[in-house]
Amino acid sequence: MTEKTCDNLLRIKTAGTLELLNQSPHYNRYEATPYETLDELFTEYTIQSTDGFVDFGCGKARVSFYVHHHFQASVTGIEMNGQLYQDAIENLVHYRRKNKRSGGSIRFERCYAEAYDISATENRFYFFNPFSIQIFMKVIGNILLSAERNERVVDVILYYPTSEYVQFMEHQTPFTLWKEVRVRQLYEKNENERFLIYRLGE
């Protein structure tokens, strides 16, 4: 199915890219995770309905809606760009009209990722290179502090991971690489087409 077809099934609009003009160099442009790669990830990795999923740099929130629709987990999207945040809210209105089934909550917060206060119920954290390594380090630090205060198994999911993110996770955090999911057909041409799932606490 095409990206547009998948969007239509969820009643959302998330396609395309968006350059964030006049922004700090710490923040990268908007680009949604392709649906085909999400399908690949979730054939090998499962979210439980009891999980709390956080999508950092959620943009128009494709991943947030995908996870909520398929797993009924509680989902929070974090986005600091005003236009993208408004797009996510508009998508939420249309999504709720179509998806009235019971399940976890879905919400969006407009704030800087490093300022987001991580809840004790949140345990799955998703990143598609939304910002610089400096901000990523601060966010991971916040996740670790939360896991220290409220002990639980925590996963950090990286799509198309940069070498800086990988080196930091492997050499400067207590997380260990739990699983690598390669996107078939794409990985052979581009080794960045993969998900790395780092786990803490198991």
What pLDDT shows up at residue 22? Answer: 47
What span, in angstroms and rounded, lies between the C-alpha atoms of 12 and 65?
Answer: 9
- Residue-wise over 148-187: b if at least 16 C-beta within 10 A, else e? eeeeeebbbbbbbbbeebeebbeeebebeebeebebeebe
Number of neighbours of residue 4 by Cβ within 10 angstroms: 11
> How high is the pLDDT of residue 89?
97
pLDDT at 25 (0 to 100): 55
| Confidence (pTM) | 0.93
3-class DSSP state of 194? strand
- For residue 138, the model assigns a pLDDT of 98
Residue 31 confidence (pLDDT): 84
Average pLDDT per block of 10 residues along the chain, 202 residues long: 88 72 58 94 96 97 96 96 95 87 88 97 96 96 98 97 97 98 92 97 84
pLDDT of residue 30: 75
